[in-house]
Amino acid sequence: MRWSVGSRDSIEDRRGSSPIMRAGMPIGIGGALLLLLGSWLTGTNLFSLLDMGTSQSPATESRPVQSSPAEERQVDFVAAVTDDLQSTWTDVLGGRYSPTKVVLFRDATDSGCGFAQSATGPFYCPSDHKVYLDLSFFDELRSKLGAPGEFAQAYVVAHEVGHHVQTLLGIESKASQLRAHGQNPNAVSVALELQADCFAGVWGHAARQPGRVLTGRVEVDNGDIEQGLNAASAIGDDRLQRMSTGRVMPDSFTHGTSAQRVNWFKTGLDAGRIEACDTFRSGR
């Protein structure tokens, strides 16, 4: 994967700020992993259940960012990928696209969707139109989920920006209406998540066009694409359920199976068009 260091205009850096917890239940690493997997599976911040004894919002503590050269390179990488994503979606949507920000934080932060902890994984908040990411998730992606490589990380960012595109196009709002009118909320969630995978593939289609790196944009090759497909497979509901409980419960799926996620990411990669990403009508 080829990319160059640019600006960090698309980054909101909160790594030096964190909420001060007034109450809560400490848990070990093993418990954190179980809650992490459960949060991904259900789409719910299960860590918030540990803090039900307080109704107050956490205070915020600010301090200088302590970082390493390797972490700063990761910040530059996320910024480069996000800038390219936004340029690509501007090309695709024209005036319908408006920029998002990627909020980088450590451990916990406040969002327009409520209090967030890093153990819930990366997420997009439609209320404030921002993506939230703790860079430690990339270590989890590599070491615990078996999805290494820069393009695997880029796929994660592209998926979350895909949710931003859904919000701008009114798809997220229509999904909320479907839920309100009695449609199975899990089925609606799966359709949204698979479409975000497909939108990530639309960006991947553009990013693998030759010569892009010469214009300061991200450029990928077929080996990089395999990393993205592996990442999509690694975070399928069925695989995560087997990891966390040893069994698969299809009725509780919220993101789709590994096969579905790979299929829709590849659909976007092959087609390069948002019209190919209608997961709400397709039975795949």
Report the share of the chain in percent with pLDDT over 90.
73
Report the share of the chain in percent with pLDDT over 70.
83
| Residue range 159-173, pLDDT digits in tens | 999 999 999 999 999
Does 154 reside within a domain?
yes
| Residue range 24-64, pLDDT digits in tens | 433 333 444 555 565 655 555 555 554 433 334 444 556 67
Predicted confidence at residue 31, as pLDDT, reads 43
Domain span at residue 39 reads 11-276
Does 155 reside within a domain?
yes
pTM of the model: 0.85
Does 173 reside within a domain?
yes
Predicted confidence at residue 233, as pLDDT, reads 95
Query: Does position 190 have pLDDT exceeding 70, yes or no?
Result: yes
Does 3 reside within a domain?
no
Q: How confident is the model at residue 201 (pLDDT cuts 50, 70, 90)?
A: very high
Q: How confident is the model at residue 230 (pLDDT cuts 50, 70, 90)?
A: very high
Name the domain count of the chain: 1
Instruction: Give a three-class secondary structure readout of the chain.
Output: CECCCCCCCCEEEECCEEEECCCCCCCCHHHHHHHHHHHHHHCCCHHHHHHCCCCCCCEEEECCCCCCHHHHHHHHHHHHHHHHHHHHHHHHHHHHCCCCEEEEECCEEEECCEEEEHHHCCEEECCCCEEEECCHHHHHHHHCCCCCCHHHHHHHHHHHHHHHHHHHCCHHHHHHHHHHCCCCHHHHHHHHHHHHHHHHHHHHHHHCCCCHHHHCCCECCHHHHHHHHHHHHHCCHHHHHHHHHCCCCHHHCCCCCHHHHHHHHHHHHHHCCHHHCCCCCCCC
Predicted confidence at residue 247, as pLDDT, reads 93
Work out the mean pLDDT of the chain and round it to a whole number. Answer: 87
Does 5 reside within a domain?
no
Does 282 reside within a domain?
no
